Amino acid sequence: MERLRARLVAVRYLLATAWPIVLITAIGLVVAYQFVEPEPPRKMTISTGSEAGAYYAFATRYAPLLAAKGITLEILTSAGSIENLERLDKGEADIAFVQGGIVPPADDPESTHLRSLGSVSYEPVWLFYRGEQKISKLYQLAGRRIAVGQEGSGIRGLALQLLAANEIASDNPKLLPMGGLEAAEALQQGEIDAVFVVAAQEAPVVQVLLRSPDLQVASLSQADAYLRLFPFLSKIVLPQGVVNLVRDVPPQDTVLLATTANIVVRDDLHPALAGLLLQAMSEVNGKSGFFQHAGEFPAYKDQSLLLSDDARRYYKSGPPFLQRYLPFWLAVLVERLFVMILPLVMLSLPLLKFAPALYSWRVRSRIFRCYGDLKFLENELRKNYQPNRHAEYVDRLERIEEDASQRNIPLAYTDLLYTLREHINLVREKLMRFDTSHAKDKDKDKSA
């Protein structure tokens, strides 16, 4: 029973020492939790374009890569980049494909809630036309019937910008709201004279028009000038014979303008999902193609929108360290726990180092109180001993000894109690000497 009581005393002192450390650590954890990212959702929505377009094709290739990581990618078709931006703005989509040059540069880029994850491919600006006359400058299209894309499409916005730079007004009645395979069929049948197409070379509409013997692709001799006027554009070359070597299509190198296909997200997209999407973009769009080198995409080429912080880190350092070696969900869990564990370790190490000293101080402080009373009594005896108060001195000394004997302290510090008792006995002996000396002095006075 005595052993159990002694252990409980030690536990009580331990708990009394530990609670400030636990409290400080708990406060640190509560503060750290404010900086922990919530668990990423398991579903994202991406707005693409028509099912026949490259945007939709890219999204269908992203989906299985994300599904392998436990993320469902819901694909929404749309009329084009304008509708995609509207969906992002309304919160109807988390991610969207946006054609370069569609978003006008903002005076304060920080004010918008949209961010770019980068470009994933070049989008050639194809100008297919009928007729014998070679077209190498866009002003040569004046007076012709031109399909410039459906209302709300990225094709239309870019085509009208290029034509306006060549003094062809956007309200010209011969600029027709047609696009895709419908415009291609109208051009083949001679119902229109030219069509603008902004699409990758694999797009069905491009392949159909490239293989139509009565149609030609405009090679723009003023391409470098357009790059100065429209910084979001690039200059690319379609090599001679690359479409069909036997038929020599195209018959000469063809200079084209190109915009970029960009991935735009809302700024509240979870960082872990942004990193996962960037990895899918690298795998799908990082290969070489007609107009791009291996590893050229994804890249931050169209700077109409700010690059997201997650994309900036990805382009600088690659995928997050843990995601390179751990399954996605485990990596995310460890990253979230790390934010909690780091302050816990930073707080606990110095506190635990200080804990033994604090524990010892708490135990010793109970003994030191008795030493304080003992010291006051000893000083009083030495400086101002009064024989008539002898009984009071003895009573005070006995109370100090009684108090010391009732102190419950851990067994490891019992030696302090025995040392205190020795010191009490020393003061008691001194008190007895004072009393004896006083009695002798009193006897001498009587005999005298």
* DSSP string across 381-417: HHHH--GGGHHHHHHHHHHHHHHHHT----GGGHHHH
pLDDT value at residue 348: 66
Strand partners, 95: 46, 265
Of the given ranges (28-32, 183-187, 194-198, 288-292), which has the lowest mean pLDDT? 28-32
Q: In this model, does residue 150 exceed pLDDT 80? A: yes
Q: pLDDT band at residue 418, thresholds of 50, 70 and 90?
A: confident
Q: pLDDT band at residue 387, thresholds of 50, 70 and 90?
A: confident
Q: In this model, does residue 428 exceed pLDDT 50? A: yes
3-state secondary structure of 236: strand
pLDDT value at residue 25: 66
Question: How far apart, in Å, are the Cα atoms of 328 and each of 37, 65, 66, 174, 300?
Answer: 15, 12, 10, 53, 25
Mean pLDDT of 270-294: 89
pLDDT value at residue 443: 59
The helix (H) or strand (E) run that includes residue 342 is helix 328-384
Give the chain's mean pLDDT. Answer: 83
Selected residue with higher pLDDT from 400 and 64: 64
pLDDT value at residue 446: 59
Q: In this model, does residue 410 exceed pLDDT 60? A: yes
pLDDT value at residue 2: 47
pLDDT value at residue 146: 96
3-state secondary structure of 107: coil
Q: pLDDT band at residue 448, thresholds of 50, 70 and 90?
A: low
Selected residue with higher pLDDT from 297 and 16: 297
pLDDT value at residue 148: 93
Selected residue with higher pLDDT from 362 and 73: 73
Backbone region of residue 222 per phi and psi (left: phi > 0; alpha: psi in -120 to 50; beta: other values):
alpha
Give 5-54 pLDDT, tens digit per residue: 545 544 555 555 566 666 666 666 666 655 656 678 889 999 998 887 78
Question: How far apart, in Å, are the Cα atoms of 435 and each of 334, 385, 440?
Answer: 75, 9, 9
pLDDT value at residue 251: 87
Of the given ranges (219-233, 286-300, 333-347, 386-400), which has the lowest mean pLDDT? 333-347
Q: In this model, does residue 351 exceed pLDDT 70? A: no
Q: In this model, does residue 337 exceed pLDDT 70? A: no
Strand partners, 127: 196
Mean pLDDT of 188-208: 88
Report cis status (omega within 30 of 0) of the bond before 250. Answer: yes
Give 214-261 pLDDT, tens digit per residue: 899 999 999 999 999 998 899 999 889 888 888 888 888 999 999 999
Q: pLDDT band at residue 426, thresholds of 50, 70 and 90?
A: confident
Q: How far apart are CA 323 and CA 329, in angstroms?
A: 9
Q: How far apart are CA 287 and CA 368, in angstroms?
A: 78
In the chain, what percentage of residues exceed pLDDT 90?
Answer: 35
Selected residue with higher pLDDT from 311 and 331: 311
Mean pLDDT of 411-432: 80
- Token pair listed for 411: 């067994």
pLDDT value at residue 368: 77
Q: What does R_g of the chain's alpha carbons equal in angstroms?
A: 43
Q: Which residues of 185-224 are buried (b: 16+ CB within 10 A; e: fewer)?
A: ebbbeeebbbbbbbbbbebebbebbbeeeebbbbbbebbe
Give 97-107 pLDDT, tens digit per residue: 998 888 876 66
pLDDT value at residue 15: 54
Mean pLDDT of 117-138: 92
pLDDT value at residue 62: 96
pLDDT value at residue 6: 45
